[in-house]
Amino acid sequence: MKVTLKAFGLASFYLREKLESIELPAGATIADLLEAVTIKDTDRDLSLLSAAKFFVNGKSAGRDTVLHDGDEIIFLLHLAGG
Amino acid sequence: MHGYAGKMLFVDLTHGILTEKPLPEKLARLFLGGYGIGARILYDMMPPGADPLGPESVLGFVTGPCTGTKAFFGSRYTLVHKSPVTGGWNDANSGGYFGPEIKKAGYDAVFVSGMAAKPVYLLIRDGRAEIRDASHLWGKDTKETWRLLQEELKQPKLRVVAIGPAGEKMSLLSCPINDGHRAPGRGGGGAVMGAKMLKAVAVYGTGEITVADPQKVTEINKKIAANLKKNPGAHAFGQMGTGGGTGASALSGDTPVKNWAGVGIRDIGPEKAELLGSANLDKYKLKKYACYNCPLGCGAEYKVTDGRWPLEQTERPEYETAGAFGALLLNTEEDVVLKCNDICNRYGLDTISTGGTIAWAMECYENGVLTREELDGIDLTWGNGEAIAALTQKIADQEGCGAVLAHGSAYAAQKWGKGSEYLQVASGIELPMHDPRLGPGLARTYQYDPTPGRHVKGGIGLPQVFGAFPDKYDFSNTGEMDVAATAAQEVENCAGLCTFMIQSGIPDAKEQYLAAVTGWTFTREDSYETGLRILNMRHAFNLREGLKPADFTLSPRAAGKPPLAEGPLAGVEIDTEQLAKNFFLKVEWDLATGKPSPESLQRLGGLDDVIKDLYSV
């Protein structure tokens, strides 16, 4: 199946490459999507990723949310605002 | 004494007297700097009940031991005074280069009392201070004032903090601006300067602040620089600034939407949310801007060449500004945010409270509480960019309805006798742009911190927003964490360090820096005690003003009362009473009277007079 991904602001700095359309196996979850698209460099501090938030088709979603063909996923990470 | 200039300057504007006093080591050890020393000094100098805009009011510009040293993030100074907005203690800190310059000029702090009979500015050059006539500067904006003083004194490196016309007219939304665009923005400090007819403080210095262990400071710096390189978050922050998260925050529920009643994903949507983020705004970027000795550099200079409001030289809006003039008003027009930010920086206005005041007026207008006629013909509908810019200008000029709104939403509701049900304030000051419904601890911080309504005050709320504490909606047993986080923030702020050092990747970076800079032992236990002492000092100032816990209020909407029906924060209702109880119990403050236990004050030390004031009959 194919899903679209929009990474906002800070979240885009955690992607391996700028991807908008991603091919995933049927039954894949948001956790699987993250595994497929985020950077894996073990030398880097990726702790902030644990605070990521998601919407699927405009509704709040979690890492275990199962994705479907054509879903639109928003991937958010906060920057401390001042 | 390493890390300190070793002197404080006291200026009596009524009598034109300047007095220099040594900074006692005991005072520095107990209260560190910033608002720690500030609260201690103002408690001694100001009588209870003093009018914040009267001659007994004292205003302080206070640095910390790390300010102006080679320690990364050491750019901050704090403005301290009694707030004409909340009627209680007030502190607001700012980065840039002004704070470090005060120390290079020979002082750790400058305290100003009395009132001048005509506009003046304070000039400090390498340990020589004088009060000068500022009649020719009165009416000028903050950037023009800075430029004119540099020219007049033939000193291009002169650093200036100045009020603009808003502060001169004692707008309660006003603040001084340093370096042309950095602001200790909150709580009405501009009005306090305006009342004193103190147009500006201009500083130039060539001194150097010694540190106890320069090699250790360099080592910490190197470690932080290496950590930052490995952190994509820090990289993003350096590239996009605080405004990089604007779009994400509007959708996640971090940024309040539509005067705290809206839902970003529904009312703004993903397509428009990002329009106010740096990814879009940075098309106007001329160059990067970093505060003194900052390895991140979150600022940027902008230039807008065309459109409705061309701006020859302006700045990238901070997150709080983009939130307050953006999602809070349902506005997604970037030029409106840039224009309003520019007006606020030039006139000297707090962007958070100005945006919050307009949001209140918008909701009043939507519900027929304020009419178009009362708003001088402005059609103040949600997201109407022209209307937002026009009203901001009216507030800056105090023209028409702006003469009332220039003093904030709580003042306007009282003056006009209506609309109080739409206020989103803590103790009368507009709330900042992080939503307690996403980080529930913020409700305690906003309501009960001795400086209410601040996102830069300590607690567990912001860590909750940024992902810590998975059980954040369990309101039991928060006291210990809340007090520890509060004490830690007190120390960071008062050390003169920027709160964005959180990106450093070293959990005890501030303690390491403080030990290396001062040469004192500074364990985390020392840090905790110092933080609590400073917290109690600010709290004592409020208690002496007669303020009790019941006087500290938070508009219910921000605590989910009633809860939102939709969006990521749907159904969230915060048990504010439980959070407060947990905090008060741990910090040993009485819930009804607010009084700290005498034992806790005795244990912390340096507060004997406070014990006497609170417990002598």
pLDDT tens digit sequence for B166-201: 999 999 999 999 999 999 999 999 999 999 999 999
Hey, what CATH class is B441-615 in? mainly alpha
How many other C-beta atoms lie within 10 A of the C-beta of residue B529? Answer: 17
Q: What is the pLDDT of residue B516?
A: 98
How much is the mean pLDDT over chain B? 97
Q: Based on the number of CB atoms within 10 Å of its own CB, is A30 exposed (0-12), middle (13-18) or buried (19 or more)?
A: buried
- Here the tokens at position B122 are 């304070």
Which of chain A's residues have a Cβ under 8 Å away from the Cβ of B250?
none
What integer is the mean pLDDT of B404-422?
Answer: 98
B241-430: CATH, from 3.20.20.70, 1.10.569.10, 3.40.50.720, 3.30.470.10: 1.10.569.10
| Interface mutation target, options B431, B466, B506, chain A, most CBs of A under 10 Å | B466
* Amino acid letter, residue B162: A
Q: Based on the number of CB atoms within 10 Å of its own CB, is B47 exposed (0-12), middle (13-18) or buried (19 or more)?
A: exposed
Specify the CATH superfamily of domain B7-204: Aldehyde ferredoxin oxidoreductase, N-terminal domain (3.60.9.10)
| Interface mutation target, options B239, B252, B469, B566, chain A, most CBs of A under 10 Å | B252
Cβ–Cβ below 8 Å for A51 and B467: yes
Which of chain B's residues have a Cβ under 8 Å away from the Cβ of A81?
242-243, 245-246, 249, 254, 318-320, 323, 433-434, 455
* Amino acid letter, residue B79: L
Cβ–Cβ below 8 Å for B232 and A44: yes
Which of chain B's residues have a Cβ under 8 Å away from the Cβ of A6?
270
Pick from B132-136, B151-155, B500-504: least confident: B500-504
The 10s digit of each residue's pLDDT in A18-64 is 778 999 999 999 999 999 999 887 788 888 888 888 999 999 999 99
Q: Helix B576-587 and helix B479-495: axis angle, to 10°?
A: 70
Q: Residue A82: is its pLDDT beyond 80?
A: no
CA angle B399, B334, B318 (to 5 degrees): 85
Which of chain A's residues have a Cβ under 8 Å away from the Cβ of B270?
6, 8, 55, 58, 74
- Say how far apart CA B286 and CA B218 lie, in whole Å: 31
- Say how far apart CA A45 and CA A13 lie, in whole Å: 12
Q: Residue B320: is its pLDDT beyond 70?
A: yes
* Amino acid letter, residue B383: G
User: Percent of chain B beyond pLDDT 70?
Assistant: 100
- Say how far apart CA B444 and CA B426 lie, in whole Å: 10
Nearest residue of chain B to residue A79 (CA atoms): B245
What residues of chain A, 23 to 82, have a C-beta less than 8 Å from chain B? 39, 43-46, 48, 50-51, 53, 55, 58, 60, 74, 76-82
Q: What is the pLDDT of residue B28?
A: 98
Chain B: nearest CA to A14, how far in angstroms?
7
The 10s digit of each residue's pLDDT in B237-283 is 999 999 888 989 999 999 999 999 999 999 999 999 989 888 899 99
- Say how far apart CA B610 and CA B597 lie, in whole Å: 11
Chain B: nearest CA to A56, how far in angstroms?
11
Q: What is the pLDDT of residue B605?
A: 96
Cβ-nearest to A13 among B232, B242, B323? B232
Cβ-nearest to A8 among B231, B274, B434? B274
Q: Kindly list the distances between the CA atom of residue A72 and the CA atoms of A35, A39, B271, B608, in Å, as whole numbers in the listed order.
A: 17, 21, 12, 62
Q: What is the pLDDT of residue B416?
A: 98
Q: Residue B590: is its pLDDT beyond 80?
A: yes
Q: What is the pLDDT of residue B577?
A: 97
In this structure, are strands B120-125 and B198-204 parallel, antiparallel, or unpaired?
A: parallel
Cβ–Cβ below 8 Å for A80 and B270: no
Q: What is the pLDDT of residue A8?
A: 87
Kindly provide the ipTM of the predicted complex, given to two decimals.
0.89
Which of chain B's residues have a Cβ under 8 Å away from the Cβ of A77?
233, 245, 248
Identify the bridge partners of residue A15 per DSSP, sorted by sequence position: A38
First to last CA, chain A: 40
Query: Predicted confidence band at B211 (pLDDT cuts at 50, 70, 90)?
Result: very high
If you count residue pairs, one on A and one on B, with CB atoms under 8 Å apart, how many are there?
Answer: 126
Q: Residue B617: is its pLDDT beyond 70?
A: no
Cβ–Cβ below 8 Å for B298 and A82: yes
Chain B: nearest CA to A8, how far in angstroms?
6
Cβ–Cβ below 8 Å for A81 and B233: no
With H, G, I as helix, E, B as strand and everything else as coil, classify residue B298: coil
**Contacts by residues B462-467 (CB-CB < 8 Å, ≥ 24 positions apart):** B462/A80, B462/B434, B463/B439, B464/B438, B464/B439, B464/B440, B465/A78, B465/B254, B465/B434, B465/B435, B465/B438, B465/B439, B466/A48, B466/A51, B466/A78, B466/A80, B466/B439, B467/A48, B467/A50, B467/A51, B467/A78
Query: What are the structural domain ranges in chain B?
Result: 7-204, 241-430, 441-615
Q: Measuring CA to CA, which residue among B490, B486, B614 is closest to residue B540? A: B614
Q: Based on the number of CB atoms within 10 Å of its own CB, is B551 exposed (0-12), middle (13-18) or buried (19 or more)?
A: middle
Which domains are present in chain A? Answer: 2-76 (3.10.20.30)
| Interface mutation target, options A4, A5, A8, chain B, most CBs of B under 10 Å | A8
Q: What is the pLDDT of residue B397?
A: 98
Q: Based on the number of CB atoms within 10 Å of its own CB, is B476 exposed (0-12), middle (13-18) or buried (19 or more)?
A: exposed
Q: What is the pLDDT of residue A3?
A: 96
The 8-class DSSP code of residue B119 comes to -
Which of chain B's residues have a Cβ under 8 Å away from the Cβ of A4?
none
